[in-house]
Amino acid sequence: MNDHLSTARPYALGLFRIVTGLLFACHGAASLFGVLGGAHGGGTVPVGTWPGWYAAVIQLVAGTLVLFGVGTRSAAFIASGSMAYAYFTSHQPNALWPIQNNGESSAMFCWAFLLLVFTGPGALAVDRLLPSRATAGAPPAPDTTGGEDRHASPATA
């Protein structure tokens, strides 16, 4: 059973990334364009207002990048930080617990994106299709030249 679950791990992580990125991008689109119910029950966030408009741009751009698996770790790091900022400046001053201060979504997005920073995009990511990025996280190839192991101590080399 564990072997089957381990085999599916990259795909489960990829689906987690896709859903999280989609939901985050929807928040940004709602705030910027008034779609999906708009910002705060209708309308859009005025252009250039701090921090709402900038947060919406981060949500739309980072969410889209995470959704497609392009620069996932970097985009997730920025998204996680933006949600930590949102939680501690907008929600936490109102009450200690997220359930009391309506900060559940900020807290969950923050931790979900932080997880993606450490795990990477999983399967089904565009980065996996690009040759320069496909090998970026791969371990170094073994030395097949017969050369000396540079990491071995002089006594064992």
Q: b/e map of 136-157 (b: 16 or more CB within 10 Å)?
A: eeeeeeeeeeeeeeeeeeeeee
Pick the residue with more confidence: 146 or 21? 21
- 44 neighbors 32 (Cβ within 8 angstroms): yes
Over 80: is that where the pLDDT of 57 sits? Answer: yes
Which residue is associated with the tokens 């001053």? Answer: 93
86 closest CA partner among 64, 67, 62:
62
Among 30-34, 54-58, 72-76, 138-142, the least confident range: 138-142
- 75 neighbors 62 (Cβ within 8 angstroms): yes
DSSP 45: P
Q: Quick one: pLDDT at residue 76?
A: 98
Entry field: residues in the chain: 157
Q: Quick one: pLDDT at residue 66?
A: 98
Instruction: Give the C-alpha separation, 136 to 34, whole Å.
Output: 38
E strand or H helix at 37: none
Convert the pLDDT of each residue in 89-141 to its tens digit: 999 999 999 999 999 999 999 999 999 999 999 999 998 888 775 555 555 44
Instruction: Give the C-alpha separation, 42 to 29, whole Å.
Output: 12
